[in-house]
Every structure is written in C-alpha cells, then in structure tokens.
C-alpha cells in the first residue's frame, strides 16, 4: 500500500510545542523583561525628578530667605547712613546668621555704601570680584544697578578656583542709590548633599555658569552648561549622550538645576540580556525541531501500520490486524485495535440478532393490540361510555391514542424506563376498561430508576404474561409494578396475586430461557430475556418465581450506565 504523507510528528508535534510551549514562554519572558525595563525606567524618572525637586526646593528656600533678609535690611535707614558701630555690626550678623543657621547653609554678608566703600565684611579679605572699579562695570554691581531693588543672582569664581553663588540687591532711598547688599554662598558646602544623591547634579545661573556639579558631560571649557532651557519651558526632560536628564528653573530663570543619570550600562544590560534570551530560545527551538524529527522518523513505520489498519476497518474489512512489536504505546494501540475489532464483530452479530428479535416483538405486539377482536372490544367500550361516562370515554380514547403513537414509533430501540412505563400504563388502562373491577394495578418507581434506559417494549410482555396466567380460576387480579436501583443495576419487578403457574409450566419457561432460540409459545418472556442478554451481556436477565395459587413474580435486572451510577453516587453523598 502506498504510504500517505502525514505530519503527526514531523510537523504537528513540533508546531504544537512551538505554539503552545516555547512561544508562550518566550513571549512571557520578554513581556516580563519589558515590564522590568518599564518599571526601571519609571523608577529612574521618578528618582531623578524627586532629587531634582529636592535641590530646587533647597535653593529656592535659600534664595527666598536671603531675599526677605535683604528686604528687611534695606528698610533700616541707619544701616546705610554711614559707618556702622560695633553694636550695629553685631546685630546685623546675629540676624543674618540666624537665617543661615535655620537653613543649615553657610553664607557671607557684605554691605557697601557704593561699589568702592564696604561698611561690613563677611570675611577678612574682600573677594576680588567685589573690589575695583572694573568689576563694578560688568560684575554683580552692574547687575544690581540694572535691576535696582530686584534680586540679582550670579555665579562667580574665587581666585582659588572655588565657585561661589552671589545674591545681590541695590538699596534705594527716594529713588537714589544709597548702598548694596551682597550675600555669597560657597559651593563646597554642597558636596555632601551631592554625594547623598543617586543622580548627578549641575546648578547654573541664567548664563549657564556652573556653580556646583559632579558631572562635566554637558559643560564646555568655560564651565558653562551646553543645554538651554527656552523661555517657554520651565522644565526640560531629555535623553542625550547616554543620560536621562531633567532641568528645572527657579527664581524666574535666575537659577537652573539639572539632575541626570547615566543609563548606558543599564541599557546595555537589557539589550545583552534580550540577545542572550533570543539566542537561548533559538537554540532550544532548533534542538526541539531536530529531536522531534528524529523521533518521528523512528515511529513513522508503526504509525503507518496503525493508519492502514484503521483505513481497512473504515472500509468494512474487520479481518485486518496490526503486527507491532515496539514495546511502547504504539504496540498498546495496535493490540487494543485488534481486541476492539474482535469485540466489534461479536457485537455486530449480537446487534443483528437483537434487531431481528426487536422487530419480531414489535410485530407480535401490534398484532396482539390491533387484531379486530381487540379493536372491536375497545371501540365498543368507548361507544358505550360516550353516553354514560363521557369523561371515561375521553380518557380511554387518549390511552388508545398514546398506545398507537408509541407502538408505531420505530426510531428508538432504547427509551427511559419512565417512557416505557407510560406506554404500559396506557395498556393497563385499556385492560382495566375491559376487565373493570376484576383488574387493579399499582406502579411504584424510584426517581433514579425512571431515568435508566431499557429496551423498548420491555414491560408490556410482563403484564401480558400476568393477565394470561393470573385469571385462571380467579375473578380478580391485582398487578404491581415496581422499580428500584440496587448497587450497579436497576431491578424491574412485575408481581401479581393471580393463579400462578403450574410447576411444569414454570420449569418449561426456565428451560426455554436457557436456550438460544424460541421453542415454545412463551415468546414474550423469551424475547425479553434474550434481548437483555444481547444488549447487556450475562449481567442482565429475567428471573421468574411462581407458585400455583399464590401468584407470579417476574424480576428483570438491567446494568446501570456510568451516568446513572454518577447520579446515584451524588444522591448518596
């Protein structure tokens, strides 16, 4: 037989592993990596922003406090009226150092009547940029003159190379300059604060001169910041030269605080990790493709044997066999297939016989129910009751209608017990209309038993048998039908108080039930017994207990299906 092209192992298993195992794992891994990168990026931004705000608040506080101090000092008319006495100097120093100490920031205070005449020095030696006429023309004095009573801020470099932040203000009296107030903050005192931050910081004035810094990436040779904040933006966020940077303006742009973090190493780590993961997943995929291909090649021969066997069975050849000796799951499948075919052949034979007997039962039932004598008696009873008992006549017509409908329905071989009992009750009602008070019956069934499927037309022959033997020498017959679930089977009982069977009749029926073919007139009970054996095996059958003059008990046992057993277990729980 020509081998067909299949992809069970070569394609399907590899595709399944890739789509449902490695691809989700890879997507999940990179998703987690992306989430970690996103979290790290957000944490970096939040940290830089927080530390930038901290530095901005620190310098904002110093600027405002010194500005308030200058305002109060400018209002004191005695300060800029001439030379200061020792007590005046001491009072001014006390007020100034009180402000500085509250902020924990050191500063030096200088007072001038003009740019050439200092009246109070914060240090013994005057900084070079506060002395001389030339500095007055372009330095802090020039700014104070231009801005008058507005705070001026400028970064200056001391002669020793230390950067200093200078706050200055001109003092006017009736519009005439009477003095200058200058406060100098040395940048070295912020080294500890810079070291405590994870971000790197640059503080500049409006012209970009760096006051304090621990990063020189964005400074030129003149110690000026190369990045600019436009007048429209007070906050700058950017990624440049491997840094994440945030810049903030305070004091209307007089001071600018830049905070930055180097992200080159972290970005390199993420890209390297992503590349390694891609390489690892690629190698795993190649290994899986190779190993599954090799495994599929070793199993292809057994697989084609099983496929050919199934193909033969599909075409109706139940003589095919699979010969597999691989001692693995394929051998198990092959052996199970062989066993299944053997059982299937037996079952087909049983079903064939069962179908034939079911057809015979249905035909006999139709003949017994609808022979002219039966129909004549039934219709005659209806004609009589229409005049005297219309309601009973209506019920009898309904029972006959249900009986006809059920008898002519050949679509199902198995029905729930409740449905077959409903048919039987229709038959019993008609019989009761026929026999009147001479016949009574009772039905008692457990709810769980009602759902058990049984062969169709199973109960009626039991009733027919009770009526056939029960009235011999009896004027009244009571038939009781009950059903209940016992362990793993459903038990159906038809019991009457009639004449019972003679000993030889009972033995004849029991002998008949042990044979494989009909050989007497007890076809109804034989067909029940045989159909149960064919459908359920030796676990099912019929048992007859009868004593002459004491009635007959017919007991049918039907194995439970798994669904019914589950329902039984649920009720017990």
Task: Write out pLDDT tens, residues 254-266.
Answer: 899 988 888 777 7
Closest to 206 (Cα-Cα) out of 150, 158, 245: 150
- Statement: residue 30 has pLDDT above 70: yes
Q: Tokens 């190993």 belong to which residue?
A: 291
Q: What is the mean pLDDT of residues 85-104?
A: 90
Q: How far is CA 467 from CA 116, 245, 419, in A?
A: 143, 104, 22
**pLDDT on residue 222:** 83
- Statement: residue 480 has pLDDT above 90: yes
For the chain, give the percent of residues with pLDDT over 70: 82
Q: Hey, what are 317's tokens? A: 């050849």
CA dihedral over 378, 381, 386, 391, signed as positive or negative: negative
**Is 214 within 8 Å of 114 (Cβ atoms)?**
no
Q: Could you give the 3-state DSSP secondary structure of residue 222?
A: coil
**pLDDT on residue 446:** 92
Going by pLDDT thresholds of 50, 70 and 90, the confidence category of residue 233 is very low
- Statement: residue 570 has pLDDT above 70: no
Going by pLDDT thresholds of 50, 70 and 90, the confidence category of residue 496 is very high
Residue 497 contacts by C-beta under 8 Å, 6 or more apart in sequence? 470, 477, 478, 550, 551
The mean pLDDT value of the chain amounts to 79
Task: Write out pLDDT tens, residues 432-477.
Answer: 887 888 999 999 999 999 999 988 878 888 888 888 888 887 889 9
Going by pLDDT thresholds of 50, 70 and 90, the confidence category of residue 484 is very high
Structural domains of the chain, ranges and CATH numbers in brackets: 7-63+199-295 (no CATH), 76-186 (3.30.450.20), 431-572 (3.30.565.10)
Closest to 462 (Cα-Cα) out of 498, 508, 437, 489: 498
Q: Tokens 């100034």 belong to which residue?
A: 96
How far is Cα 439 from Cα 319, in angstroms, rounded to an integer?
56
Task: Write out pLDDT tens, residues 507-524.
Answer: 888 877 776 555 545 667
Question: 21-55: b or e for each residue (b if 16 or more CB lie within 10 Å)?
Answer: eeeeebeeeeeeeeeebeeeeeebeebbbebbebb
Q: Hey, what are 124's tokens? A: 């013994």
**Is 393 within 8 Å of 445 (Cβ atoms)?**
no
**pLDDT on residue 371:** 44
**pLDDT on residue 68:** 92
**pLDDT on residue 334:** 75
Task: Write out pLDDT tens, residues 129-152.
Answer: 887 655 555 678 888 888 888 889
- Statement: residue 326 has pLDDT above 90: no
**Is 493 within 8 Å of 479 (Cβ atoms)?**
no
pTM above 0.85, yes or no: no
Task: Write out pLDDT tens, residues 31-73.
Answer: 887 787 778 788 888 888 898 899 999 999 999 999 999 999 9
**pLDDT on residue 231:** 47
The strand ranges marked E within 122-263 are 152-157, 163-173, 176-186, 200-205, 210-213, 235-240, 243-250, 255-262
How far is Cα 165 from Cα 157, in angstroms, rounded to an integer?
9
Q: What is the mean pLDDT of residues 232-253?
A: 71
- Statement: residue 90 has pLDDT above 80: yes
Going by pLDDT thresholds of 50, 70 and 90, the confidence category of residue 567 is low
How far is Cα 316 from Cα 312, in angstroms, rounded to an integer?
7
Helix (H) or strand (E) holding 440: strand 439-445
How far is Cα 86 from Cα 321, in angstroms, rounded to an integer?
123
Which of 101-115, 211-225, 406-420 has the weakest average pLDDT?
Answer: 406-420
Q: Given the DSSP bridges, would you call strands 243-250 and 414-416 parallel, antiparallel or unpaired?
A: unpaired
Going by pLDDT thresholds of 50, 70 and 90, the confidence category of residue 3 is very low
- Statement: residue 428 has pLDDT above 80: yes
CA quadruple 393, 395, 396, 400: dihedral, nearest 10: 140
Q: What is the mean pLDDT of residues 554-569?
A: 72
Higher pLDDT, 345 or 482: 482
Going by pLDDT thresholds of 50, 70 and 90, the confidence category of residue 196 is confident
How far is Cα 162 from Cα 203, in angstroms, rounded to an integer?
14
DSSP string, 282-348: HHHHHHHHHHHHHHHHHHHHHHHHHHHHHHHHHTT-TT-------SSHHHHHHHHHHHHHHHHHHHH
**pLDDT on residue 2:** 46
Task: Write out pLDDT tens, residues 348-371.
Answer: 777 777 776 765 565 455 334 444
Q: Crossing angle of helices 523-536/329-369, nearest 10°?
A: 160
Q: What is the mean pLDDT of residues 542-564?
A: 83
Task: Write out pLDDT tens, residues 105-117.
Answer: 889 999 988 767 8
Closest to 399 (Cα-Cα) out of 445, 431, 372, 437: 431
How far is Cα 163 from Cα 185, in angstroms, rounded to an integer?
9
């Amino acid at each position: 037989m020509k081998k067909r092209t299949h992809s069970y192992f070569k394609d399907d298993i590899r595709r399944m592993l890739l789509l449902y195992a490695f691809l989700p794992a890879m997507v999940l891994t990179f998703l987690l990596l992306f989430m970690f990168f996103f979290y790290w990026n957000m944490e970096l931004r939040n940290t830089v922003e927080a530390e930038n705000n901290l530095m901005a608040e620190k310098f904002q506080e110093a600027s405002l406090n010194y500005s308030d101090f200058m305002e109060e000092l400018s209002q004191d008319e005695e300060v800029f009226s001439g030379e200061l006495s020792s007590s005046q100097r001491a009072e001014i120093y006390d007020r100034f150092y009180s402000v500085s100490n509250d902020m924990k920031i050191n500063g030096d205070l200088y007072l001038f009547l003009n740019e050439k005449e200092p009246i109070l020095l914060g240090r013994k030696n005057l900084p070079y940029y506060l002395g001389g006429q030339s500095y007055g023309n372009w330095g802090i004095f020039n700014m104070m003159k231009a801005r008058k009573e507005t705070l001026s801020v400028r970064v200056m470099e001391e002669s020793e190379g230390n950067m200093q932040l200078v706050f200055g203000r001109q003092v006017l009296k009736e519009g005439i300059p009477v003095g200058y107030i200058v406060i100098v903050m040395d940048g070295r005192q912020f080294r500890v604060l810079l070291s405590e931050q994870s971000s790197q910081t640059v503080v500049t004035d409006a012209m970009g001169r760096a006051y304090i810094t621990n990063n020189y990436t964005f400074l030129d040779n003149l110690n000026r910041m190369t990045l600019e904040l436009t007048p429209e933006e007070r906050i700058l966020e950017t990624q440049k030269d491997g840094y994440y940077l945030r810049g903030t303006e305070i004091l209307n742009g007089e001071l600018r605080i830049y905070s930055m973090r180097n992200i080159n190493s972290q970005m390199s780590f993420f890209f390297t990790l992503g590349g390694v993961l891609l390489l690892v997943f690629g190698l795993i995929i190649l290994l899986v493709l190779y190993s599954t291909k090799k495994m599929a090649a070793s199993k292809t021969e057994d697989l084609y044997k099983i496929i050919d066997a199934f193909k033969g069975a599909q075409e109706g050849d139940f003589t095919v066999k699979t010969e597999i000796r691989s001692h693995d799951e394929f051998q198990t499948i092959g052996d199970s297939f062989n066993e299944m075919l053997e059982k299937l052949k037996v079952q087909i034979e049983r079903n064939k016989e069962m179908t034939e007997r079911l057809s015979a039962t249905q035909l006999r039932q139709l003949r017994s129910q609808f022979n002219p004598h039966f129909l004549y008696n039934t219709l005659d009873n209806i004609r009589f009751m229409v005049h005297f008992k219309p309601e009973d006549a209506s019920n009898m017509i309904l029972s006959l209608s249900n009986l006809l409908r059920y008898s002519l329905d050949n679509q199902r071989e198995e029905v729930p017990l409740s449905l077959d009992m409903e048919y039987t009750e229709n038959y019993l009602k008609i019989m009761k209309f026929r026999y009147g008070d001479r016949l009574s019956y009772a039905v008692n069934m457990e709810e769980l038993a009602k759902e058990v499927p049984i062969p169709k037309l199973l109960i009626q022959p039991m009733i027919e048998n009770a009526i056939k033997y029960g009235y011999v020498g009896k004027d009244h017959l009571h038939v009781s039908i009950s059903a209940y679930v016992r362990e793993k089977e459903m038990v159906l009982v038809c019991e009457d108080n009639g004449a019972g069977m003679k000993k030889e009749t009972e033995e004849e029926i029991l002998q008949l039930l042990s044979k494989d073919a009909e050989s007497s007139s007890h076809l109804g009970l034989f067909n029940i017994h045989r159909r149960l054996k064919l459908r359920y095996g030796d676990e099912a059958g019929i048992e007859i207990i009868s004593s002459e003059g004491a009635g007959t008990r017919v007991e049918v046992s039907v194995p439970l299906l798994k669904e019914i057993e589950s329902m039984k277990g649920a009720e017990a729980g």
